[in-house]
Chain A
Amino acid sequence: MCVGVPMQVIAIDGDQAMTEVDGVKREANLMLLDQEVQVGDYVIIHAGFAISRLDEAEAKETLALMREVFTPEDMV
């Protein structure tokens, strides 16, 4: 059910924002967000609504864990 795409906020007008992915633009509604969003931020868009802001620091940490070299101690 929960097709959701990370889209970048390129303009904000009250509760309405213009968001973009791969050069494709679509209006999205921000009324469900409990986080401050600024132009340049990425949000998950589901059914025309932003439901969450993406946290870049967390994303980098996740990627670092994914890329971590596998050490013999990991072989439980």
Chain B
Amino acid sequence: MENDLILLGHGSGGKLSHQLLDSLIIPALSSTLPAGQNDAALLEVSGARLAFTTDSYVVDPIFFPGGNIGDLAVNGTVNDLAMMGARPLFLSVGLILEEGFSQADLSRILASMRSAADAAGIAIVTGDTKVVPKGKADRIFINTSGIGVLEHGLRIDGAAGRVGDKVIVNGSIGDHGIAVLSAREGLEIDSGIKSDSAALNGLVGELLALGTGLHALRDPTRGGVATTLKEIALQSGVTIMLHEESLPVNAGVRGVCAILGLDPLYVANEGKLLALVAPERAEEALEIMRRHPLGAGAAVIGELVENSAGRVMMETSVGGVRGVEMLAGEQLPRIC
């Protein structure tokens, strides 16, 4: 079997993506600075602690219920900064447009980028536009990079989880992935589900009140909650026990997953965060989230139960126990 080709699964955020990073990208590109495995790099510049991140956005369809590629490109990068506990400051925007793309569509996308940036309080300060011949790109790709500043001395890190910590999510899981999938041509599914695309920096700002009780923050985007928790479990060297009954899942997400044979634990989110919080502060964290418009559906979904090589287990809805792994390859509709 030939192993040279890049497969779609290498971009799924799951195990193949990790393999590509570990075997090719990090060895080739990482500088002498410690790499870290978080959503943004932490940099010290003239006494200031900065977070720096970049992300490229390719989504089909570009307009979907609850958002479009534009607000996604702003919110996603803002969220990567927010997951470090940073206050987002500046954003760059790189547009790659396919010859023949509609200016009206571009204008709609730019307008939603603008309003997403304003809502998140981040300034778009630089940008670039390229056009490639018809067929060399799929309508529009967007890259955004963001800089934020850390104004606290806390260590918020996927490796900082401790046994006893509670795992808290700020609301229902799987909405973004299902909204995009249902809107995709060919599946003809009417789910009524909207993407949860939203900037989480406001909510994170409130959560910083937990001080040293806040151990880790991570947004479960591609690969879903399962993949993100597995990453945290590996980074912190712990076993995470999830409780299926506590997982907030909208009925429509459940329905689409049932029809297509998918698992909501592996479906992407764009306005969700997972927080590891010291057990004595968990109740307070829940209250903070539930007071915020983006945390009304917050729930404790599990806890860190023991030190280990990094495992995720789940107590199922009927009381059984099973292991939870990272997404392998792409999440494909499963009929057989």
Interface residues of A (CB under 8 A from B): 1-3, 5, 7, 21-27, 45-47
Is the Cβ of A23 less than 8 Å from the Cβ of B188? no
Is the Cβ of B188 less than 8 Å from the Cβ of A26? yes
A26 in complex: contacting residue of B189, B251, B335, CB < 8 Å: B189
CB distance from A54 to the nearest CB of B (A): 15
Complex: chain A residue closest to B191, CB-CB: A24
Which residues of A have CB within 8 Å of B259?
5, 7, 21, 24, 26, 45
A23 in complex: contacting residue of B251, B261, B335, B336, CB < 8 Å: B251
In residues 162-211 of chain B, which contact A (Cβ within 8 Å)?
182, 188-192
In residues 310-336 of chain B, which contact A (Cβ within 8 Å)?
334-336
* Best-buried of A2, A26, A45, A47 by chain B (most CB within 10 Å): A26
B255 touches A (CB below 8 Å) = yes
A24 vs B252: C-alpha distance when bound (angstroms): 6
A3 in complex: contacting residue of B188, B189, B191, B335, CB < 8 Å: B335
Which residues of A have CB within 8 Å of B290?
none
B252 in complex: contacting residue of A2, A7, A22, A46, CB < 8 Å: A22
* Known contacts A1-B336, A3-B335, A47-B335; A25/B258 CB under 8 A: no
Is the Cβ of A25 less than 8 Å from the Cβ of B189? yes
| Shortest beta-carbon contacts, A-B, top 7 | A22-B255, A24-B255, A22-B251, A25-B190, A1-B336, A3-B261, A21-B255
* A-B contacts besides A1-B335, A27-B188, 4 pairs, CB < 8 Å: A2-B336, A3-B334, A22-B255, A25-B190
A46 vs B252: C-alpha distance when bound (angstroms): 18
Across chains A and B, the number of contacting residue pairs, with CB separation under 8 Å, is 43
Chain B 254-284 against A: per-residue CB contact (8 Å), 1 yes, 0 no? 1110110100000000000000000000000
Number of interface residues of B (CB under 8 A): 17
Consensus secondary structure, chain A interface: strand
Is the Cβ of A22 less than 8 Å from the Cβ of B335? no
A-B contact pairs, 14 of them (CB 8 A): A1-B336, A3-B261, A3-B334, A21-B258, A22-B251, A22-B254, A22-B255, A23-B255, A24-B191, A24-B255, A25-B189, A25-B190, A25-B191, A47-B335
CB distance from B176 to the nearest CB of A (A): 16
Complex: chain B residue closest to A2, CB-CB: B336
Complex: chain B residue closest to A24, CB-CB: B255
Which residues of B have CB within 8 Å of A26?
188-190, 259
Complex: chain A residue closest to B335, CB-CB: A47
CB distance from B312 to the nearest CB of A (A): 24
A1 vs B330: C-alpha distance when bound (angstroms): 18
CB distance from B64 to the nearest CB of A (A): 16
Complex: chain B residue closest to A25, CB-CB: B190
A1 vs B336: C-alpha distance when bound (angstroms): 4
Which residues of B have CB within 8 Å of A3?
261, 334-336
Which residues of A have CB within 8 Å of B261?
3
